[in-house]
Amino acid sequence: MKKMSRAIALFVSLLLVFSLAACAKPQPAATQTEPTQSTAAENTAPAEKKIVLGFAQVGAESEWRTANTKSIQEEAAKAGIELKFVDGQQKQEVQIKAIRSFIAQKVDVIAFSPKVETGWDTVLQEAKAAGIPVILTDRAVDTKDESLYVTFIGSDFVEEGRRAANWLGENAARLGLKENINIFELQGTVGSAPAIDRKTGFEEVMKKYPGWKIVKSQTGNFTRAEGKQVMESWLKSDKDNIDVLYAHNDDMALGAIQAIEEAGLVPGKDIIIISIDAVKGAFEAMIAGKLNCSVECSPLLGAQLMQIAKDVLAGKPVEKRIVTNEGVFPAETAAKELPNRQY
């Protein structure tokens, strides 16, 4: 009997121990943390660091520039690149200040469209010393040290000037022009690559035409307002002395067209007009018969810039010069082409 009660007691105590064990709370810390920690580490592997690109734009002087800014901003977002964008307000010192602030913020890569060609060496040396690669877009810099930038993406402005003059040469007779042609030239921003190169390219082709003469040449700063102003003053003094207007961009041509109409002349007929960019505004003017030809200069550099920024940071080799593919749009093609234009 005694044996029996001892066995029951043992059975009850064992039952108690098992039920207590079953009710016990999960063990904290030590034993459970190790596997949990390693699982967490696998799941939260550090996300890939976003590339930070500092971009110093020239300003907002033209339809072209607005399209260029939009292209850069949209393509940075698509590429998952964090863009620090500064509008240089047409001032070199603002662009230099922006580049210095990008260096101070330790961005991964700097890109900019230099307002003018000269005066960049010091700030570019600072970027180089900080180990930050620099990509030039749209406009070139004039430097002896090409190691200060990794690549330059943009148009061949000399070729654009040649294309403008070649188009004139091929179409002059059809447009009723004689051998002797008086040309007014609206130049872009003084000292900028497109102003220098578009003049060079045009004048190079002019050598084939001894009767062509640039009788007026002045900057209109790539803006519609200044293009109009300059044209107004020329028409006051030289209304009968002009056959052709060659404008370094569409905006200046569009401003000049207003001045020509206000002076009682018919743009596109009394004065043959050629400009550069091929923005939508130029196509509309061509369809209206007020502009005769626009040579293309594409502002859609954003996608290429983002890819190159990624390649440079990944250590891949990139070409030192990447030239944009472009065409020439005479007025006759404008109505068909306008629906295809992206800018």
Question: Which stretches does DSSP call E strand in the chain?
Answer: 52-57, 82-87, 109-112, 134-137, 151-154, 181-187, 212-219, 244-247, 272-277, 293-296, 321-323, 328-330
**Least spacing, CB of residue 281 vs ligand AHR, in Å:** 11
Q: First and final CA of the chain: distance in angstroms? A: 104
66 or 182, CB closer to ligand AHR?
A: 66
- Among residues 115, 139, 228, 290, the one that binds ligand AHR under rule CB under 6 A: 139
251 or 326, CB closer to ligand AHR?
A: 251
67 or 124, CB closer to ligand AHR?
A: 67
Q: Which residues contact 192 (CB under 8 A, 6 or more apart)?
A: 115, 116, 117, 139, 222
221 near ligand AHR, judged by CB under 6 A: no
249 near ligand AHR, judged by CB under 6 A: yes
**Least spacing, CB of residue 163 vs ligand AHR, in Å:** 13
Per-residue binding string, ligand AHR, 188-207, x by CB under 6 A, is: ------x-------------
**Least spacing, CB of residue 172 vs ligand AHR, in Å:** 24
- Among residues 120, 149, 222, 246, the one that binds ligand AHR under rule CB under 6 A: 222
138 near ligand AHR, judged by CB under 6 A: yes
The H or E element that residue 196 is part of is: helix 193-206
Q: What share of the chain is helix, strand, coil (3-state, %, to 5)?
A: 50, 20, 35
Map residue 263 onto helix, strand or coil: coil
**Least spacing, CB of residue 165 vs ligand AHR, in Å:** 16
Q: CA separation (Å) from 331 to 71, 255, 278, 328?
A: 26, 18, 11, 10
Judged by CB under 6 A, the chain residues 47 through 76 that form the site for ligand AHR are 61-62, 64-65
Q: Count other C-beta atoms under 10 Å from residue 269's C-beta.
A: 13
Strand bridging mode 272-277 / 321-323: unpaired
How far apart, in whole angstroms, are the C-alpha atoms of residue 199 and residue 5? 116
Return the DSSP state at 33. H
**Least spacing, CB of residue 58 vs ligand AHR, in Å:** 7
51 or 164, CB closer to ligand AHR?
A: 164
108 or 277, CB closer to ligand AHR?
A: 277
276 near ligand AHR, judged by CB under 6 A: yes
108 near ligand AHR, judged by CB under 6 A: no
Kindly determine how many residues on this chain lie close enough to bind ligand AHR according to the rule CB under 6 A. 13
Return the DSSP state at 244. E
- Among residues 148, 168, 291, 297, the one that binds ligand AHR under rule CB under 6 A: 297
The residue among 284, 248, 285, 251 whose CA lies nearest residue 268 is 285
Chain residues binding ligand AHR by CB under 6 A are 61-62, 64-65, 138-139, 194, 222, 249, 251, 276-277, 297
